Structure 1
Amino acid sequence: MRYIAATVAVTSALAGCAVAGTPTSAPVTDEWREAVFDAVAGLGAQMGPIGDAMVTHDHVTNYTAMHNACTDLRGYVDAMQTKVLPGPDVKINDALQGGIDGFRSMADQCVALTPANSSRRLDKLARTMDEADKHIKDAIKMLNAAVPKN
C-alpha cells in the first residue's frame, strides 16, 4: 500500500487538460495547453483523497473512504475525457486517452480492493497507476512543459 500511496503522491504533483474539437494535428494553442494543465491538476487533486485513505495516521487503510474517493476519480476521468478530447494534436490526444483509460481502470480496481486482497492485486493496481501516470506525463512533455521526476 505504501508503494501505491507514493505513486498517488507523485501523480498528484502533475498539472492539466480540456477543449473539444476535431483532431487535425493543428498547432497546439496556449488555450488548449492551459486547459490540459488544468484538467491534469484536477486529476492530481482527485488522487489525494485516495492516498490519504490508503495511508492513515494509524497505518490502517480506510476502505470506505478509499472506495468513495475511487468512485469520485472514476467520475472525474469520465468527465475529463469529454472535456479535453479530442484536442488539436493527435499524438497528445493518444497520450491523454491512454492516461484517462489507465486511471479509469485504476479507479475500478481500487473500488474492488478489500483488506483480504492479495499482493498480486495490489501489484496490478500499482502497475496500472504507473502506466496511466506515464501516459499523462508523456502528454505533458509533448506540450513542452516540465514534468516532475519520480
Structure 2
Amino acid sequence: MKYLIFILFIFSLASVQAQNCHMLKDGKYRVEYDSVFKNYPKYSFEIKGNVYYKFENEIKRDFKIIKISDCSFSLENDEIIDESKLTDLQKMLLQQKPYFEIYKVEENEYYFICRIDLHVQCYSGKFIYGNL
C-alpha cells in the first residue's frame, strides 16, 4: 500500500511539473480569441494584485480574482444583473461559475480556456501581456 501511494504521488507531482502555466502577472492584457470564437466581443483588461479590471466598449468593470490553482482562476464581482429581459437559458448560464484555465505560456502570451466545468467551455484564446 505504501508503494502504491508513493507511485501515485510521483505521478501527480510529474503531471503538475509538466504543465507550462502560471498565473497572470500584474499589467495590461488584450484578449485574442481562437478562430472559432472570432466574433466574440474584443476586450482588454488590467491586473493589479488580486483585482481584474475589464475594459469593454469604453466601460470599466472590476472583478476579484479567485485563485483555484497555479493554472486557473475565476472572477467575482458584486454587480447586480437585471434578469427581467433574459431568456431561461441565459438565466441558467448566468448561475454558472466560469473559470479560466491557463494551459500554456510562451513569452508574453498566456493560452487559456474559459470553462463552465471540465467538459463545457465558454471560449478559448490567449491573453497577450504588454502595453496596449
Compute the TM-score of the two structures, normalised by the length of structure 2.
0.29
Query: Which structure exhibits the higher relative contact order, with contacts defined as CA atoms closer than 8 Å and separated by 6 or more residues?
Result: 1
Greater percentage in helix: 1
Structure with bigger strand share is 2
Larger radius of gyration: 2
